[in-house]
Structure 1
């Protein structure tokens, strides 16, 4: 389709590359299929070209900043990425033009680019992936530095103020945007993360796991300091030492900035014979590992961030008919409804007991899995989110004159996002005390950090 004025979208992405960021890829593909012209500016992964067209989406990449460490390192990273994105946006403006800046947070510093272009009549869409202030609190021991927290709130408010339209990932985020950001409800559209129906399929279970002859517990997702994998490991310790269960094996698929410390924690807890940290694996390997699981887990603890965030791993588990054990968080319960066993938040022994109950009840496992699959097919598949995205854009831009071909995408799940930036090195876990199951904290004690994870967060099928 020939590009026409008033239907050109420029997406800004910093937290991940394209097409590795699955939410951004799905949105870009849906908009392209609907007749919009979509360009994306993002950092480059090793080996990726600076310019590329993928399924009709024009990609402009800048060199990925080196790994940041400490306050000044992350100030530099955000300043560099925002400046590089602005410079490339000028190239896009003069080469093909754009009518809308569609910014995917984090960071919220893209508001400065959007504010500049609004002077020239461009519109601004804020795609709210993560609650940056709450993410910061969740990652920091004691809630972190209040000056940094309030600076993040200010950036979020500024972004909401300049946005012509806000896209939220769930109703909890929408409430924040109304109450804290002052955005009128009619200027917010909820576009939930999801998985395509034709991509949600079982595959051959991982043979190495099947041959264990044990109950397989599965976790998939990004392993950041806020994702609760340490809670899972301590629950497994309870499963062994308090409930006397050794007839299980846990596979943890993915990686993240907490991954090295989580492996150390597993070793300190004596879990090496019972857990397998796969690290990054291709999509097919990930699916085969999860298809081998008898029980899947969502161990995110309760805090101001996780209480409001949707974890895409839950949708993935449901799409392949897996029963779930999760802490009883508002968005967990909304997502899984009756397809999960919910445990009082942050109680690791109770989490272990819930796993043990499912281990002994194969009929209940099957029933929960079937409920989850039905809910996925009826409400949570990506196909239900696309019309909402397109409806939002019909209010932002004129409807394109014609629709181009359907865009299909290769199933790809990115489990290796760039590390969540903390403006200082995250604290090391406390030494394990063999005399008792003392909690080992994996959160950072630094007074200043900046959150950066997508918890479409989370595993980027996520990934918040």
Structure 2
């Protein structure tokens, strides 16, 4: 069998980008999947390297003409040593699969999506062969570490070093918001012309309202919803404590919380719900896809963003902001800088950084349906005017212009 080498690039095909993401499988990772499809629609060949999970167990499949290569991970890490082991395994498989793609199809660009800020190690050897590296800056890893472990120290310095070399290796940086862009320029030393902000807004043609899930609704008067990963830093424990305050201290009846998603902290927050006596008021659905996901989201009366106040969450753009708003669901959150900047007066904010404060912000929406509908309409209008994936996709594709020399292909 003849093999095509990674250099020189073949002239009989479109340019080819390989996207590497470690923390979520594709197409479950919405941002990565939308980016992959945007490049495909712009005439690129696209491959993705990502992990497997129970919902996406296939080692290889092709969807929408995008080749998806998946690898196993031995565990879903929580502690420091667990993360080191997970990342080492991921880097091994990413290196193996990228070499396979290089030898069988060739490629022109590698896009690395953090966390971790280590994927540049996989791409760096190919830069010696003229390939380009694009860093898709999903997370602030040093800030995430500081928020999770409440310290800086040795590992924090290592993360800053990894971030530094990631920026240095990258030919282009795609920032998840303007705060990240500022960090890429100030802390990463990038030329402003090489950094493009692309917000993770959903494609509103795919995220739409459908008939609510009748089982989730059941006899509930108001559904408080959460969608996303359930990890230690995501604050689902704050949602559970908020429910304790609403049900047991404020005495509200007919209020149910629905948590859509999964993650390493699921068992602990389920145990917390039992300990606080709100297990019957909190439903955990696990991962949902397709129409089941849309039906669950369409059941939400209020969207909860329980991510706690810290230096990490203050800077990130929550996907939940965009998703709730696209469906006309009013949001309740802590008063985080980036979240407040996105939602403005379309959001409701806790008066203090505690689950009690989160409950206080939710109660006016729980008690007043007219107010709830008004805030939902305001969020929907905001999404229609500002949270538009087609414009974000244009910026994303434009960032790739010039990375690969134009060439004729059949």
Question: TM-score of the superposition, structure 2-length normalised?
Answer: 0.91
> Shift of the alpha carbon at 1:315?
1.1
Match of 1:126 in 2: 135
Structure 1: unaligned runs, 5 residues or longer = 405-464
1:231 lines up with 2:238 in the alignment: yes
Stretch moving more, 42-51 or 53-62:
42-51
Deviation of 1:133 (Å)? 1.2
Larger relative contact order (C-alpha < 8 A, sep ≥ 6)? 1
The SS at the match of 2:292 is helix
After superposition, residues 130-145 of structure 1 pair within 5 angstroms as 130-140=139-149, 142-143=150-151
Q: 1:260 aligns with which of 256, 264, 267?
A: 267
Instruction: Please point out which of 372, 378, 381 is paired with 1:365.
Output: 372
State the partner residue of 1:74.
83
In 1: Cα distance, 2:308 partner to 2:38 partner: 33
CA distance in 2, matches of 1:353, 1:63: 43
Aligned mates of 1:161, 1:212 — CA distance in 2: 55
1:302 lines up with 2:314 in the alignment: no
Where do 5+ consecutive residues of structure 2 fail to align?
1-9
Partner of 1:385, secondary structure, is helix
- Equivalent in the alignment of 2:326: 319
**Structure-1 separation of matches of 2:178 and 2:390:** 18
Secondary structure, aligned partner of 2:317: coil
2:182 corresponds in structure 1 to 175
1:90 matched residue in structure 2: 99
Taking structure 1 as reference, are residues 62 and 293 closer, same or farther at Cα in structure 2, changes over 3 Å only?
Answer: closer
Answer yes or no: is the 8 Å Cα contact 1:315–1:380 preserved in 2.
yes
TM-score by length of 1: 0.81
Q: Secondary structure at the residue paired with 1:396? A: coil
Q: CA 1:244/1:49 → structure 2, altered by over 3 Å: closer, same or farther?
A: closer
Change (3 A) 1:231 1:70: closer
Q: 1:190 to 1:75 in 2, by over 3 A?
A: same
Tell me the CA shift for residue 75 of structure 1.
2.6
Report how many residues are paired. 400
* TM-fit CA distance, 1:204: 0.8
Equivalent-residue separation in structure 1 for 2:310 and 2:75 (angstroms): 30
CA RMSD of aligned residues (A): 2.3
Q: 1:115 aligns with which of 109, 112, 124?
A: 124
Going from structure 1 to structure 2, the CA distance change for 1:60 and 1:351 (only over 3 Å counts) comes to closer
1:283 equivalent to 2:290? Answer yes
Displacement, 1:181? 1.2
Q: In the aligned structure 1, how far is the partner of 2:367 from the partner of 2:132?
A: 56
Contact 2:73 2:89 (8 Å CA) reproduced:
no
**In 2 relative to 1, CA 189–400 (structure 1 residues): closer, same or farther, beyond 3 Å?**
farther
